Amino acid sequence: EVQLQASGGGLVQVGGSLRLSCNISGFTFDDYAIGWFRQAPGKEREAVSCLSTTDARTYYGDSFKGRFTISSDSAKKVVYLQMNNLQPEDTAVYYCAGDYFVNAEYACREDKTLDYWGQGTLVTVSS
C-alpha cells in the first residue's frame, strides 16, 4: 500500500524558511513522480513543484521558481520542499502526492489524476 506522509509545517515569520518532508512508502516500482501542492483558505489547490524519481527532473509552478526547491533522498525515500523567504500568501495546507509512471510535469499539471495523497501539513506565515 502506497503511503505518503507530509510533515514539517508550522508557524514562521515573514521572510523565514521551512523545509517540508514527504515520507514515501509502498511504491513497488521505482518509476513514479512525487509533487507538492498547496491549498490556501478559500482558494483552489495549486501545484508547487514535482519531481520524477526515474531521472530526478523537476517541475515548478510559475509562482514558485526561485524561492522553493524540491529535492529527494532516494535512500531514505523522502522528498523535501525547501521554502525560503516565506510570505503571508504562502499560508496554506501543503500536500504531497504522487503516482506511478508519470513525469514531474505531468504530475504537477494533472494533479487531479494522481492516485496517492498524503494528509497535508499546515504552513502559517505571520506578519
Kindly indicate the confidence band of residue 29, based on its pLDDT and cuts at 50, 70 and 90. Answer: confident
Calculate mean pLDDT across residues 41-63: 94
Element (H, E) at 49: strand 46-52
- With 0-12 / 13-18 / 19 or more C-beta atoms within 10 angstroms meaning exposed / middle / buried, residue 50 is buried
pLDDT band at 23 (very low <50, low <70, confident <90, very high): very high
Does the pLDDT value for residue 34 go beyond 90? yes
Residue matched to cell numbers 496517492: 116
Statement: residue 24 has pLDDT above 90? yes
pLDDT band for position 19 (50/70/90)? very high
